[in-house]
Amino acid sequence: MNPFLGSDTHRTWTTFAGVALVVSALVLISLPWMSSASAAEPSPPPTTASPPASKELQVEVTKKGLGKEVSIKKGDKEWFMLIEVTPENTVVVRQEKENETYLVDESETHDRPMTQAEVDVAIEDFINSVKTQVKRK
């Protein structure tokens, strides 16, 4: 008998395949949805002249169910974070892409739903980490 099967601390080993499937589905569903939704909804006109995309970060935060997603772009680089909250758990997906190459593609599952405040803090921390990363280069 495996002592890890009943332990909550090792629960991720028993549900890894299910989590991977859910995360893959979320990524596949959310990325095309994001581009089609932004195409369907007209963006508000800018209040000032927009600087060239390669000079400044373009940050877009969208509420998605109980969670949120953020897309950050600068030139050929893209950063993406999705926080999907259900009554049972929370799935967090992070991606970093340059042109068509993924530099980071990771996910994590929490055994409880995140509160709205926790989602907001996680999104804000992600945005700040990208800004810091861009400043260093």
Q: What is the pLDDT of residues 45-54, one digit of tens each?
A: 443 334 444 5
Domain boundaries, the chain: 8-41+54-136
Q: Among 82, 85, 87, 86, which residue's Cα sits nearest to residue 72? A: 82
Task: Using a cut of 0.75, tell me whether the model's pTM lies above it.
Answer: no
Residue 69's Cβ-count burial label (10 Å; 0-12, 13-18, 19+) is: buried
CA 48 to CA 45: how far, in whole Å?
9
Q: What's the pLDDT tens digit per position in 97-123?
A: 999 999 999 999 999 999 999 999 999
Residue with tokens 């709205």, as numbered in its chain:
116
CB 62 within 8 A of CB 69: yes
Q: Check if the beta carbon of residue 59 is closer than 8 Å to that of residue 70.
A: yes
